[in-house]
Amino acid sequence: NAGVTQTPKFQVLKTGQSMTLQCAQDMNHNSMYWYRQDPGMGLRLIYYSASEGTTDKGEVPNGYNVSRLNKREFSLRLESAAPSQTSVYFCASRGLGGETQYFGPGTRLLVL
Amino acid sequence: GNSVTQMEGPVTLSEEAFLTINCTYTATGYPSLFWYVQYPGEGLQLLLKATKADDKGSNKGFEATYRKETTSFHLEKGSVQVSDSAVYFCALSDNAGNNRKLIWGLGTSLAVNP
């Protein structure tokens, strides 16, 4: 049981480049989440998916898109990266009826 | 709306000292309350939780009691170790059906010196 996995672990982009952050969970969880973590700002929810086939905006969705590819996978896409998107990105999942979220190890993104 | 306020860090303690990290919340209804811990370079993991008033969550020597009268969920540990150095996040669940989300505090960094 790997839990929640994220790739890549670290990425450097130039302003305007695009990239997709991958997330997968093997716990058969229904809900999945994308957060960003910035110093002094705590965790902020970007997008979430309550179940396969549905996605909803969180607090800070601008500049991002998501895809719930299947029950296991939830990807986050930056179409045109900006320096303000330099952050650590965490994916999390939650089982149906549960309250605990399980986190991946994070992706550290630097946009120059 | 719902919100969580936790004490600012960083908190620096010597090994075997007593730890308290304050957390208060504002919420409608009866949310569940959580403490998550983030060790350096890692993702967050659940430390403990409480689902109703007067419940006490405990794990790894840490405890927190759900106090509805003071809307608080303070984290305590009687004797901290160097390995407890981490960032601690208080959170509440909005319990809004299947779109259940967590409302997060800003985190409190703890450094324990030998």
B100 to A105: CB separation less than 8 angstroms, yes or no: no
Residue B95 confidence (pLDDT): 65
Residues contacting B10, CB < 8 A, separation 6+: B108, B109, B110, B111
Size of interface A-B (CB pairs under 8 A): 52
A48 to B99: CB separation less than 8 angstroms, yes or no: yes
Separation in Å, CA of A43 to nearest CA in chain B? 7
* Mean of the per-residue pLDDT values of chain B: 92
User: For the residues of B34-89, what is the DSSP string, one character each?
Assistant: EEEEE-TTS-EEEEEEE-STT-EEEETTEEEE-BTTTTB--EEESS--GGG-EEEE
- Range with lowest mean pLDDT among A94-108, B24-38, B88-102: B88-102
Q: What is the mean pLDDT of residues A14-39?
A: 95
Residue A87 host element (H or E) = strand A87-94
Structure tokens given for A64: 């991002």
Chain B residues with beta carbon closer than 8 angstroms to that of A36: none
As a residue count, chain A comes to 112
For the cut 70, the answer to whether the pLDDT of residue B96 exceeds it is no
Q: What is the mean pLDDT of residues B13-28?
A: 95
CA-CA distance, A111 to A18, in Å (whole number)?
Answer: 10
B34 to A50: CB separation less than 8 angstroms, yes or no: no
Chain A residues with beta carbon closer than 8 angstroms to that of B39: none
* Mean of the per-residue pLDDT values of chain A: 94
Which among B43, B89, B100 is the nearest to A104, CB-wise? B43
B100 to A99: CB separation less than 8 angstroms, yes or no: yes
Residue B80, Cα to own-chain centre: how many angstroms? Answer: 15
Q: What is the mean pLDDT of residues B22-31?
A: 91
Residue A35 confidence (pLDDT): 96
A50 to B98: CB separation less than 8 angstroms, yes or no: yes
For the cut 70, the answer to whether the pLDDT of residue B61 exceeds it is yes
Residues contacting B19, CB < 8 A, separation 6+: B11, B13, B75, B76, B77, B80, B84, B110
Separation in Å, CA of B79 to nearest CA in chain A? 26
Q: What is the mean pLDDT of residues A61-86?
A: 96
Q: What is the mean pLDDT of residues B18-43?
A: 93
